[in-house]
Amino acid sequence: MTRIDSTFARLQAEGRKAFVAYIMAGDPDIETSLAVMKGLPSAGVDVIELGLPFTDPMADGPTIQLAGQRALEGGMTLDKTLQMVRDFRAGDNDTPIVLMGYYNPIYSRGVDTFLAQANEAGIDGLIIVDLPPEEDDELCIPAQKAGLNFIRLATPTTDDRRLPKVLQNTSGFVYYVSITGITGAAAAEATDVGPEVARIKAKTDLPVIVGFGIRTPEASQAIASVADGCVVGSAIVGELASGKPVEEVLSFVSGLAGGAHSA
């Protein structure tokens, strides 16, 4: 079992929903993003999604695109992202870390080399948004053989014909994208999300976590109430972008986590 598997098994046994937080590695700078990352578990975060900055983030809205630009302009690299994970692991060996990004930096590094380095650093899972199931031999299968979860996205356009293909090699959890379009673009509605989560859960035993369009503790609670948990990214990244101190950002995260955990 990975840390992801263990965390969801524990939450299920406790009858609690998961709260997943996304931050961009190196935004607004390495020191600040590492400080936020280290503070996330105490703020109630069950799983950390760490964004790997990339020059062409096609699935991301302006908030996360700009975060990636800031990180890259500040000198953030794949190696420095892995070092950030090592620095986090020096004080926390329990909280799962999912690296979220695009395939190009991994392909450039070489899959086998990357997977060995990710394992050594302490990464537990991958979300690579531009690798469809048809390309599973490229990274998904090697990652699972290396002991990392490969988490797949399902969307409102993933119909019943497509869903089995999306689920076939997924592990850890299923990330349900609550809206069509890019990150941060609209608000998620529990009345829309609930039936879709039920449809997915009828086809898999994996937890279903909902992301995109969640910005408040109330929304966090509402979405978590119809799923196994929720993800917040753009709203947290926006707090960092506004220049707020680490403590205020973590207080904001704590409110969101409290919403999910009260569902």
Specify the number of domains making up the chain: 1
Q: Give the active site residue among 5, 60, 124, 196.
A: 60
Residues 124, 93 contacting (CB under 8 angstroms) = no
Per-residue pLDDT of the chain (263 residues; tens, 9 = 90+): 999 999 999 999 999 999 999 999 999 999 999 999 999 999 999 999 999 999 999 888 899 999 999 999 999 999 999 999 999 999 999 999 999 999 999 999 999 999 999 999 999 999 999 999 999 999 999 999 999 999 999 999 999 999 999 999 999 999 999 876 656 556 778 888 999 999 999 999 999 999 988 999 999 999 999 999 999 999 999 999 999 999 999 999 999 999 999 99
At a CB cut-off of 8 Å and minimum separation 6, what does 182 contact? Answer: 59, 60, 61
CATH number at residue 122: 3.20.20.70
Gap between the Cα atoms of 106 and 125, Å rounded:
14
φ, ψ (nearest 5 deg) of residue 101: 180, -145
Q: Output the six-digit token pair for 30.
A: 């390495």
DSSP character string of 90-143: TT-SSS-EEEEE-HHHHHHH-HHHHHHHHHHHT--EEEETT--GGGTTTTHHHH
Q: Output the six-digit token pair for 161.
A: 């014909």
Residues 197, 27 contacting (CB under 8 angstroms) = no
Q: Is position 14 annotated as part of the catalytic site?
A: no
Query: What is the pTM assigned to this prediction?
Result: 0.96
Q: Is position 5 annotated as part of the catalytic site?
A: no
3-state DSSP call for residue 81? helix
Q: Give the active site residue among 5, 49, 124, 239.
A: 49
Alpha-carbon distances of 143 from 115, 197, 214, rounded to whole Å: 7, 26, 29
Q: Which domain holds residue 146?
A: 3-261
